[in-house]
Amino acid sequence: MKLIVDQPERCGRWLAEKQGKAHCRDESATYIGLERKGELDVVFMYNGLTKNGSVQMHVSVDGRCNKEIRRLAFHYPFMQLNVKKIIAPIQSDNSKCIKFALNAGFVLEHIIKNAGSNGDILLFTMTKEQCRFIR
């Protein structure tokens, strides 16, 4: 497994493709990708940072997402960015991503009705205190 932190265009395009969206470059976003056998397997995107407040996290996983990958995913926002809360907006029809969020320890905090392309947007959140991957 190889860590990719210096290829935002590649990671952004891969993430958008996996989520069925058009790639829209976000200069404020940070991407962390993991590559297996020369192909991206996992991409985390962080954007919407409010200093010492919150950051949005977006993820797409093709393979398995083990504890080491989750530790990496949460270390960056909580330890490096020093945010208090991660916000993960997820389309209500994305069962794979919802399962990832719940298994990781996110809490469903709010539902925005009819805001998604196929239904609602679910706002999952996690505080540093709730995160079991950085202890």
Tell me, what's the pLDDT at 80?
94
Tell me, what's the pLDDT at 19?
80
Encode pLDDT of 66-121 as tens digits.
Answer: 778 888 899 999 999 999 999 999 999 988 889 889 989 999 999 999 998 889 99
Question: pTM of the full predicted structure?
Answer: 0.89
Encode pLDDT of 32-78 as tens digits.
Answer: 999 999 999 999 999 999 988 999 999 888 877 777 888 889 999 99
Cα 113 to Cα 3: distance, rounded to the nearest angstrom:
36
- For the chain, where are the E strands, in sequence order? 2-4, 30-36, 39-50, 54-61, 85-91, 107-116, 119-127
